[in-house]
Structure formats: structure tokens, C-alpha cells
Structure 1
């Protein structure tokens, strides 16, 4: 189930799902007061995204164009050769009247490009849609542009010529304006700037291009005012922006609360927010005009109220070149007076991302679990992170593994100087770009780290350029040059080139279906380290997983392995890696009463059926 939303009348909930005899993902609805779900719309392929018109009578939805008839027949007979990037299936906009039935033929709008990010105007006459030159991930990242389209004819009314990445869009309640998030320029790594524009004409108004913060969410509160969530360093706030001149004032700046999204009531005086805090994951909050802070409305994890959690502290330190770096520190839950403790550094991916002072424990970085085991856990927002404006987010560009990763070492030194951390017991972990950081710390910076856990990470920039789905994005907002323009740079800034230095025991994990950072990045680093034989290394592959684990079992497995690796090398005996099997899983199976023999019988019975 995905894309859950209320109908415009608020009497039902709509969602996408494959249910019953559905061959593809269809649009369903279920009454809010109970009853059976009803299929609203089917298609000859998955419905990828949808939006109901304001009167609830029409639906606009996105779906890939069908395979040509001959090609489909050939594929069914086994002729399934893939001609790479030469047979794209564009995503098209379809419009249908709901009263015509779930299977009625829709109108397909003839638009030039592959579609995403669909929404209706309040009057129901226009659709806002982002169009990219092709369905590729690279084009979706870097070349999408917002179009306002007549919903009946498909005629483009207006196109906004923004320079790079795009974020969410909102309509003014009278339909006279749209507001959306965009990159400031082609090399801005994130869509953190606010754009407000008329739907008919006039120059767009840009807000925040020169400011040291990022916009992350928005909603109109009347025709002339936008409410937005701003992330500024470790903090977040709710602001009001004048749609006429771009002036901005803070409505609420709650302490130790990370605001994530916002929706506004029809009168513009109340807002619903999603936010998390150091002591709980995301919950629903409300805010009314004049309130100094939002009010919490849900408690989705009441059991957390019975759990003692580690203290979370914002940290600031000076890097070796004088730049101030921010981060978050989880203190160990229990620490003997005066004793130094082991540390795990958690490096976020991107690097166009950042940690806010909210809930920072995830399956891939189980901070509170580590803290409960006696570790300090450090989450640095190293240079190149978002949340501090365009200029700060570009400080890493054209300089892979330069001062950006020196910031990690400087953060460790800061915590050692505070008397908290044992410098001989420092681990590092991260995924994607954070996995690249982990591989770099385990090779080129190995003298600073006693253990590493690398997840879906990069080990060789040259081969990654030749295999990733986002080479243009890498060039525009990361490397700023192609490998053939400077082979030596890409080689020297790759962890693979420094494997002979490695003395940091390294656990490597990757999904077999990763197209963003292909699995060969982990396989190569593993094979080089294993063949050299100078340091413990283990490679764990997750079948069917992509750039991060989605299945609960794969997530749990990864979290257990991460904890075990750090326990073994930072607080345990070290040496030879721990056994590959996970005793925790065996204990859980035993506790459930299912033995190996019973599992075999159950499997055989399912096969027989």
C-alpha cells in the first residue's frame, strides 16, 4: 500500500495497491467510517502516482507507456534482450472521470517529456507536472522542469525555467500562484531554495538563495502567504513568507524538535506538522496562529516512554582550517565516572543531507542501541552537508575525500580532547556517500579508526562513473569534472587505491540490485582486502535489495551485524571476525518454537500445495 490520501470531501481514503486479482498496482478507496475497499481505477501497468481533482470527480495519474505490441509478444517468447538506454518507456499523464468506471479509457495528455510530481490547481482547470527529457534517473534528478498544463487539452500554459534539482510544489488557494523548491543554480546539490510564481505571467520570486539555511517543505496559507519549514544547521523552524516581496518572519522555532513537513487549514491560521525529537520518531503536531510552539497530537510509540534513552547534545567544533562544523552527540547511556568510552561516527550520505536535532536512530545507524551498549555516537554535518545554505553545501565539490573527511577526524579529536572518547576505540559507519567515507577512513585514514561498517558505499570513482545511473548528477554537483579530464585525481581519491594501508577491520554490506552505487563497488574492495590478507574483512550481500534495504528481515539482519562487528572490534576480543551466522536469529527462531526440522516440514507442505 502506498500514496495514502484523503478524498477532497474527506469521506474516504485513497491508496495505491495490488489487491485480489489485480495484475498491476491500482487506485483504491475505502470509507473513513469503515467498509470494504473499492477499486477506483485500473491500468494496463502500475499506476505510479495520482491526484484527485478538487471536486473529486476526476483523477489524473501517472503510468509508463505500454510496451509496443510486437516487443511484448517477443518478450513473452523469451526474446528479452535489453538495449541499454535506447528503448525508454516514458511516464505519461492520464486523466479519467471516476464515474466512468475503473476500466474506462483515459485521456493521455500529449506532453513532451517523462512526467512526475502531479497536482491539480484549486479550480480544477490546470495540472502542475514536472517533465524530464527522458525517464532516466539522471534526468529526473537534474533536468526536470515544472509545467502548468490545461487538464482538458494538454496545452502547456506555462513552463518554469529553473536551473537544476526540483522539490515539492504547492498551489495558492485561489490558483493564482504556485510555490515550489528548487536548486539555486545548476551546481547547487539540493533543492533548498523557495520559488513563488504567478500561474499566468511575471518573473518568479526567489527566496533564500543567499541565506545560510534550506527550505524543506511548504504550503500556502492564503493567496499571499506561504508557510514553510526551514532547516538551519541543527535547528528547524516554521516561517511565514510574503508571496509578494519574499520577506520572511519566524512563527515558531521549537527547541529540540525537528520539523519535517507542513499542511495548512483552509483559513490559513492552523497548520499540521510532522516532527520528531531526540526522544521519539516522527509524530503529528499542530500549530495555530500565535502559538509559541507546536502541540503534539499522536504517540505512535508509547513503549518508548518506558525506555531510558541516551542524552543527545548539539556539538560545534573548529576544523583544522578554521571552519566551524556542527554535529550531534549521543552520550553513552551509562558511563563510569572519568572513564573514556568507545565511539562510533555515523556519516550521512549525499553528501547533500544533514542531521537535525531530532530522532536520529535508524536500522542502518542504531544510535540509541549503541549508546545503550556503552558507546558514544557522533553524527557530524561535515562540509558539503545541506542545512547551511548553498555556499556551505558546495565546499566539498571537486575535492572528493579532501577536507570533507578531515572534518570527521577533527570531530573525533574534539571529543577525545573533551575527555569522553578513547581514541584507540573509534569506529565509523555510513551508507552511500557515508559508505564512501567509511571506506576512505578504513584505508587512507586507517590510523584513526579501529573498525568500520560500510553500507552501499563507493570504493572506486572511475568504475562508478561507468556503471552508475547518475553520471550527470555526479559531474554537476560532486566531482565537477569527468574521469577522462583527470584520471589521477579520481584514482587517488578512491579507497581502492589505498587498500595496502588498511588496518581497520571492515564489514561491507550491499544490495545485489543497487543501480545507484552498483554492487561491484563493494565486491572490488572486499576482494582487494581479502587477497592482501592484512586486515579482517567480510562482505554481506542482500539479494533483491537496492540502494538501501527495504525488507524488514534485511534491515534487522544488517543492524545486528553492525552491532556485532563494533562489539567485536571496539569492546571485544578483536582478531578473527566473529562467526558469520547470527546467534540472535537462532534464538528468536527457538523462542518461536520452530526448529530446523519443523521449518523443513512447513516448507515442504507449502511446496506441495
Structure 2
């Protein structure tokens, strides 16, 4: 039957129409070549927006393996953009100079350290603007008059340590050799400032912001570079740039997120936690710079603040997530509400503003992140990446709210199989997010570790639950799991399954689960303690033993403050009983375990423990452990991501689609697309 699939955003300029004759399911090879908007910057006059297009090398067509590359582009209106640099110039930190005549960016030129570069808006070659000898620049900011660039860099080279390393004395003293970042100010001119001035900064600085008058900066600093300190002890320091003196410390009690300085320099907007036990920085505050006092604008509301930006008129624009949806909210200078504008089908994720133009990054159920502008209460799409998505036959996507066994309403995002669920229900994959201080939005939900529309095209339903502990529903909801590992957070998964069975979406005998980090913990728990409920699992960088996890992670205090509210030695048995390894005797769920070999957050030993326990105690249960060399807490390289997606879908096709727990395991090597380097059949 001839028909047309029409994807219409809320705005006619964003409409995409595809003929049914061209419709096809999404594949892992499609996922490997997705592009999206990376970072954005608005020119001072508001007439131009610089942005990056972020993508990985397409290893499925033979491109060399690598990590995400960002190409600089300049847009002047909807579908009016041009590429500004050669394809092989991957940039970061995109900004406009204060006079708007130049786009600045961070770039690592061959054989050199990362430095600040610039390229004229009206044409011309890029040139180096500022650098620090011997070290790379991690971030930078212009002075308001354009005469200076302030740069955050790594510590100076330890020449003694370098010579020892070269001689073979390369022992690592764990957590005792912290090297702190440094701040420099360099003059901007025709010649490079070869002697930038060092500015004294406190502790380990991760970010800084220069006030509009150029006299003051806000520095985000923690005592050490350890990630646990970043979670539990990072504070905002107000510094006099002329003297380097710390004039004020904003003593926030919890996690610290986005900070912005108001146009008059008198206030900060600050997204932070409300107390030391708040799992996430989701509450928007205003801070008085002169006193350091702060007050919350949306405390207790069932939502999460995601990003904020001051406007030239003194108002504050904020991206707010309300459950699985989003909105742009405007506050007056005094913190009173000026207006709120729902994103509709769009999931807003970031906001930037200048010269009267408000730009946002947003995704939707049928496209990854794109660039939009907001005006007169509406959003206009400026970019269209991945035009081939018009060929894809998408499964219907919607939010679903169900009632958990204790009466709590729980929301999630459902992707139905292409064409809908058959009579008796479809095989269902529960895709469980990590954290658990995170949430799923009703936007783009397909990635290398997220089955999404690839699974929908193969006849699966996919449900992404915002279980207890998730953000987006207020701090009280995100705290419901604390001190109660696995219950109610993982009973919410079983209740989601049962609700979708009743609705006719899911086949009760063909439900699987996948997730990474805390979602990997959920998968390990589902494949052991809850094995009767789930027929297949794909576990990624997950927790299997809460006792040994404490001794091997780099976030012990964050675990205590935001999750357990207890130490393992407070009750060894209790901590053991909320570990998947304790319940391996119940395991009857085929489990694929994957892990980055250099993961500092959840040590690979967590995966070794569960794999070995199942292999020895339940030798008839299919289990496989896959390690990714060079990868950490999530895969960053193109080949590792593509490999992961193939393995995940192979595992579900073998066990979940068939409902056969006893099926023979797929080959140890997945079948790569023709044209991929090292193509094999997937068999020995």
C-alpha cells in the first residue's frame, strides 16, 4: 500500500516528509553515522550563531577508528549555514570575540599543544590567538573589551617525574599525586603573548566565568582533582582578577552545576543541589555576589533545571525538564516568573543568548540534537542533520505513566514496534538509565547502548522507565531510593513490565533489560534476584557487589551521600544482600556483560565477579563477558560503540525475540557491515 510517513515538528520549517516506498528500519550502521549539534555560541549582535557538528568516524564505511570530531559552522538563519574550517580540524570551546568580528575556538594542531585560535567571520585564515608554553588549554574566556583571553590549563610539566618515567620508574601513587590546573591571562594582538600572566586560583579549578565588567571572575573549584570531590566539595569562588584575591565563597551544601553571571555583575544564577544528600544539581538559585547568599527559585517543584543563561535586559532564561518533557522558562531579575514556553515535541537541553537572540539545542523523537531559536513564544529550527532519517520507518513514541505496587505514579518513555504491537504483545526491552540521578525525556532515544528505534524496527517494544531515584520529578522523588538499594527502584521495573503486559504492548514471556552503570546494576539484579521476570539481559559497566564496589570506586562519598546513606561496615550482610552476586543461585537469565577495561567509576572487577559467579555456580546459564581496551565508564571510540550495538542486538535476537533461554550463544565476533575494516562473519 502506498502511503506517506510525515514527520512534522511544531514548526512548518522543520517538516520532513518521506514516501512509504523508501521507508526502512533503522540499523546499527545508521546509529554509527549519526550527526548532531555539539556546542553553540551567539554573536554579540544576535545575527549569527556559530556551532559545531559532532560525529564519530563512520567505521562501517571504512573510516579510521576514532572519537567524536566537531566541525565548525556558522549559521545566519534557518537552513543558512556554511562550514568554516576543513573537515580535519576538530574544534571545541566555540565563542565569538566581544566585537563579533571573530569566532574563537580550541584546537590541537598537529604536533602542538591545544591553544586558542580564531577565524574572522567575514573570511580569512585561522590564526593562533593565545597559548601557554608546554601545556594545553582546557577552557578560556574573553575579557569584555577583547584585549585579553583568560585560559585554564593543566599543571606545568614535572620534569623530574618525566625523566624518571623515561628511565622506567613509572610507579603510580594512587590519589597522592594530584596536579592542579592553572589560570593565565594573555594579551590579544597581532603577535602571540609569549608571557601570559599567571593568576592564583584555589584548589582544583574545573571552570571559570568572567564578569561583564572584566574585573571579577567566578571560579568553580574543588580541593583535589578527584571526581568524588567534584561531586561533594566543589564550590564557587569569586575572584578579583587584578589581584587574584578570593573575595567570596558561595557555600553551597550540595552538588554544583551550571553557573552564569548577570549582565550587571551583581547576581549569579546557579544550578545546584539543595543539600548534601540531594542526588543531583537540579534546583535553580540566585546568588547575591556581594554577600554570597543564595535562594532557590524552584525548590520542591516536580522538575529539574538543566541550563540557564542571562539575557541582556536582566532576565534569566532557563531550560526546565518536567518529567519526560521540557520548557523554556523566563525569570525577571528579582526571581519572579516572567513566562514559560513548553517545548512541545522538542526536548530542550541547552540555551545560549546574545544580541536579543535566544538559541537552544533540542532533540525530538525523530531527530538528534539540532539548533533552534526562540522568538515570540515559538521555536524555529535552523539546522537539519541526518536528512536520511526521512527514510526511516519509526516506531510510535509516547510517554506512559503506570502505578507501582505501593501506589507511586511512575512515568517512562515507550517506543512501540514499527507497525504496533501484535496480538499477545511484542518482545519488550526495558532500557534502564544510570545514575540513578538522571531521567529519560520523550526525545531522541537511539544510541550505541540504547536500542531505541533499531529495536523498534526489528519488532521490539522499548520502555525507558524513570524509576524511583530519577531526576525531573523533584528532589523528593529522586531521594525515594536512598538507603533502599533495589527496592523500590528495581521493583519499579517489574511493575513497568506488568503494566505494559496489561496494556497489550509486552509479551510477558519475552521481556529483557539493559542499561549502563546504575542501569547495569539494574540489569545484573534483574538477571539474578529477578531472573524469573526477565528472559535476557545486556549489562554495561554495572555493579555486581556493593561491598567490593565501595573499595574500588572513585566516588565513595558520593555513594554514601546520594545513595546508600550507610557504609558497608554498618551492616555487611545488608550490603551483600543488595548485590547481584548474592543471588546468582536464582540466575536463569542469559546475560551479556560488557565493560570498559579502564573504567575508574565501576571497576571492571565488578563484571569479572558476576561473570565468574555465574560460570561456576550456574554453568548452564549463557553468560559472556566482553571487555573494551582503552575505554572507561562508557565507550568513546567509534569501533567500540558499533561493536557494542551489534552485540547487544545479537544477544536480544538470540534470547529475547525467541523467548528461548537455552538457545546457543551467538558467535564471539559480531558480523560487521560490508566495507568495515576487519569484516568477518561473526563465527569462529
Question: TM-score range with shorter-chain normalisation?
Answer: over 0.9
Q: Residues 360-419 of structure 1: CA distance to partner in whole angstroms, max 9, x if unpaired?
A: 111110200000000000000001000011111100011111110000000000000112
Tell me if 1:545 matches 2:631: yes
Does the aligned pair in 2 maintain the 1:176–1:223 contact within 8 Å? Answer: no
Gaps of 5+ in 2: 1-90
The TM-score with structure 1 as length reference comes to 0.93
Cα distance in 2 between the residues matched to 1:21 and 1:449 = 51
- Structure richer in helix, relative to its length: 1
Distance 2:437 2:321 in 1: 13
User: Any idea what SS the aligned residue of 1:404 has?
Assistant: coil
Moved more, 271-280 or 89-98: 89-98
CA contact (8 A) 2:307 2:318 kept: yes
Name the residue aligned to 2:652. Answer: 566
Any idea what the Cα deviations from partners look like across 1:313-367, whole Å, max 9, x if unmatched? Answer: 1100000000000001100002475242100000000000001111111111020
Equivalences for residues 1-400 of structure 1 within 5 A: 1-22=91-112, 24-43=113-132, 44-99=134-189, 101-102=191-192, 104-201=194-291, 203-222=293-312, 224-244=314-334, 246-267=335-356, 270-288=357-375, 290-291=376-377, 293-335=378-420, 337-400=422-485
Q: Counterparts of 1:481 and 1:67 in 2: how far apart (Å)?
A: 40
Residue from 557, 582, 591 that aligns with 2:643: 557
Match among 429, 438, 452 for residue 537 of structure 2: 452
- Residue 602 of structure 1 is matched in structure 2 by none
Distance in 2, matches of 1:436 and 1:537, equals 16
Which of 509, 525, 528 is matched with 1:443 structurally?
528
C-alpha distance in 1, partners of 2:312/2:168? 57
CA change 1:437–1:11 in 2 (3 A) is: same
Provide the C-alpha distance between the structure 1 equivalents of 2:254 and 2:564, rounded to a whole number of angstroms: 16
Aligned-partner Cα distance in 1 for 2:569–2:382: 55
**Partner deviation per Cα, 1:197-217 (whole Å, 9 max, x = no partner):** 232236323211121111111
| Structure 2 residue aligned with 1:600 | none
Query: Shift in Å at residue 174 of structure 1?
Result: 2.2
| Displacement of 1:88 | 0.9
Q: Aligned partners of 1:336, 1:382: CA distance in 2, in Å?
A: 23
* Cα distance change, pair 537–58 in 1 and its aligned pair in 2 (3 A): same
Q: Which residue of 2 aligns with 1:576?
A: 664
**Aligned partners of 1:156, 1:110: CA distance in 2, in Å?**
9
Following superposition, the deviation at residue 103 of structure 1 comes to 6.0
Classify the secondary structure of the residue corresponding to 1:115: strand
CA distance in 2 between counterparts of 1:549 and 1:237 reads 31
Structure 1 pair 402–54 and aligned structure 2 pair: CA distance change class (3 A): same
**Residue pair 1:41, 1:101 contacting (<8 A) in 2 also:** no
Q: Please, what TM-score do these two structures have when normalized by structure 2?
A: 0.83
Matched, 1:527 2:527: no
CA shift in 2, pair 1:63/1:236, >3 Å: same
Per-residue deviation, 1:571: 2.0
Structure with greater contact order relative to length (CA < 8 Å, sep ≥ 6): 2
Please tell me whether the aligned partners of residues 27 and 39 of structure 1 are also in contact (alpha carbons under 8 angstroms): yes
Looking at structure 1, the residues matched to 645 and 183 of structure 2 have their Cα atoms a distance apart, in angstroms, of 40
